[in-house]
Amino acid sequence: MLTLDRISCVGEAIRDAIVTFKTNTALIEADRHRENGRWTYRELRQDAERFGALLQSDGFAPGDRCAIVMQNQAKWVVSGLGALWVGAVLVPIDYKLTVPEQLTLLGHCKPKVLVTEYSTWVKMMREDLAPLSETTVLVTEAPPEADLGSAHRWESETSQAFSLQYRARQDVACIVYSSGTSGTPKGCMLTHDNYLTQAQVLGRMYPIAEDERFFSILPTNHAIDFMLGFLMPLMMGASVLHQRSLRPQFIRSSLKQYEVTHLAVVPTILKNLEKRIRERLDDLEDGPRKAVDTAIRANDFLTARKPNHTLSRWLLKPIHDELGGNLKKVFAGGTFVDRKLVEFFYELGIPVAIGYGLTEATTVISVNDLEPFRSTTVGKPVDGVDVEIRNANDEGVGEVWVQGPTVMKGYLDAPELTAEAIVDGWLRTGDLGSIDVSGHLTLRGRAKNMIVTEGGKNIHPEDIESVFDDLPGCEELCVFAANYIWPTGKMTGEQLVVVLRPETDADLEVMVQELVARNRRLPDFKRVSGYIVREDDFPATASLKIKRPVLADELRALERADAIVALDA
């Protein structure tokens, strides 16, 4: 259990843990089936202090900013921790953004130091580096003969003595960009108090023991993994595993090899794991399959009120072994999570805690406590956080407003945007939801994605998409109002369309037949009238949320009449 009331900053909390758990394994880094290295807490301290001293040798002072643009790996954690120990404000940048997008954000936050990988720096050197004119760039894993231009090697040694610098709870700990680079970038200023308060609450709800292992799959720059896959495990003496290749086969291999107990995922990753399990079940003969089905029903009945990992593993050992045999908890968020998906895993004794949060509220606003398991909501607000539904309609659906100690300080250098987002201390999330009599929050969609029909009906694309989820042969899909993609300047004649990306070698005819069948079950005003087939991946964030505006922009380049295939009623 975490007790952080008297801790001044995030760096102090992790340093206390390093003293306590110095011989425990802190980090493991794998690349495909090979282990690149592992670090005890003592070794992590040594490497982080070396990096901190390297920063200080360049005149780095408390409050200066250190940006990190890297894939998931141990050097991300070493850099982040070393920077926190010299009083830095961390700026995690999404490594999946394009280089021009990354440079835009870097130009906005103006870091004293940038830490990045050699492959990324090579791309950056091809661009205009004016945004980095006053930034020291440290590059990891550069070949010995590589020309780094104005940058320096991350691995460089220094004679500078390391000097530990703690911050105050109200000081900014991180600037995290919640959205892209069009218009004014939104850099959320999150304080040490924001993070410590959140960590203490989540640590009490979902403690991780010092002999357990968290698999850091999501990018460390993402709010969920920054909290659950970086700060919390290290504060509690547990181990963090990074896998440099995130192909499904290597994820499954690492789950087994390293006996992973906890991981945080987005639904796409969860679906890949589900697909593998279903394939293995489908391969069973009739007798063994009936036995497994009986065990699944028994587990579902015996754990209806509360998860029991030991019992579930005993009843369903072959299935648990497929996921490493030790997986106790999965945290899911980042986008809407299909209830059937989490019900499938719960029946197997692998509870999925569905959470809801925003970068602007540090990480988590609400989460299911699993007592009992409920697949239809995103749980109750966590301790200390108040949630209200404002401007609700007759069905109780309105905008979700949030207040509490984890709400950000504001957007960097954007007082007007801050004033729009935070009103009288309440954060306007832009999400639509309702709260039931038990206090559980159910999300209904995004206010900005809402479609208004000619009859005045409000439609949330997510509602329609959930009906079409798991279409045979469909990799991903997204619903739009056609007039949003191709504006007509009229308020009439709206047409709903679904964009489909088929799997390789998928039978499009079978997919469309099922689409038609499900479409007929929708109310008239929610039915789509056509579909668009797209072969390329949908543009997505690091947490695999579809970038709807970007996808719409790309579709806009097509001719409406040619792009949309009419759907039979």
- Residue 493 has what pLDDT? 64
Cα 427 to Cα 360: distance, rounded to the nearest angstrom: 8
Residue closest to 320 by CA, chosen among 347, 343, 283? 347
Lowest model confidence (mean pLDDT) among 164-168, 229-233, 442-446: 442-446
**What is the three-class DSSP state of 340?**
helix
Query: In sequence order, what DSSP letters do the residues of 367-410 get, joined into one string?
Result: E---TT--SSS--EEPTT-EEEEES--TTS-EEEEEESTTS-SE
**What three-state secondary structure class fits 418?**
helix
pLDDT of 336 reads 67
Q: Return the pLDDT at 455.
A: 59
Within 13 Å and on the Cβ side, how many CA atoms surround 327? 28
Q: What is the mean pLDDT of the chain?
A: 91
Assigned token pair, 538? 């949908």
DSSP state of 130: G
* Residue 181, pLDDT above cutoff 50: no
Q: Across residues 385-392, what is the average pLDDT? A: 96
Q: How far apart are CA 279 and CA 269, in angstroms?
A: 16
Q: Mean pLDDT over residues 277-293, rounded? A: 91
Yes or no: say if 463 and 445 are a contact pair by the CB < 8 Å rule.
yes
- Cβ contacts of residue 71 below 8 Å, gap of 6+? 95, 117, 219, 244
Domains located in the chain, CATH noted: 10-248 (3.40.50.980), 266-447 (3.40.50.12780), 450-566 (3.30.300.30)
- Give the pair of three-digit tokens for residue 264: 């945080």
Task: Say if residues 160 and 56 touch (Cβ distance below 8 Å).
Answer: yes
**For residue 264, what are the β-bridge partners?**
331
With H, G, I as helix, E, B as strand and everything else as coil, classify residue 545: coil
The tokens for 331 are 């945290």
Give the CA distances from residue 193 to residues 111, 171, 199, 227, 363, in Å, rounded to whole numbers and listed in that order.
22, 8, 10, 13, 13
The pLDDT value recorded for residue 8 is 97
- Name the β-bridge partners of 117: 140
User: Is the pLDDT reported for residue 487 higher than 60?
Assistant: yes
Eight-class DSSP state of 230: I
CA 361/CA 396 separation, integer angstroms: 23
Q: Which carries the bigger pLDDT value, residue 288 or residue 47?
A: 47
pLDDT tier at 182, thresholds 50, 70, 90: very low
**201-222 pLDDT, tens per residue?**
999 999 999 999 999 998 899 8
Q: What percent of the chain has pLDDT over 70?
A: 96
As a whole number, mean pLDDT of residues 466-477 equals 90
- What pLDDT is stored for residue 97 in this prediction? 86
Above 60 in pLDDT, residue 334?
no
Angle at 35 between CA 261 and CA 79, to 5 degrees: 80
Q: Is residue 204 within 8 Å of 1, Cβ to Cβ?
A: yes
The secondary structure of 137-174 as a DSSP string is EEEES--TT---TT-EETT----PPP--B---TTSEEE
Is the predicted pLDDT of residue 480 greater than 60, yes or no?
yes
What are the phi and psi torsion angles at 521 (to 5°)? -80, -10
Confidence of residue 406 (pLDDT cuts 50, 70, 90): very high
> What are the φ/ψ torsions at residue 161 (nearest 5 degrees)?
-80, 135
Nearest partner of 421 among 226, 194, 189, 222, judged by Cα: 189
pLDDT over 90, % of the chain: 72
What pLDDT, in 10s, does the model give residues 510-550? Answer: 999 999 999 998 888 889 999 999 999 999 877 777 888 88
Question: Residue 502's pLDDT is what?
Answer: 94
Q: Write down the pTM of the prediction.
A: 0.86
pLDDT of 495 over the 90 cut: no
The number of helix segments (H) and strand segments (E) in the chain equals: 20, 28
pLDDT of residue 488: 74
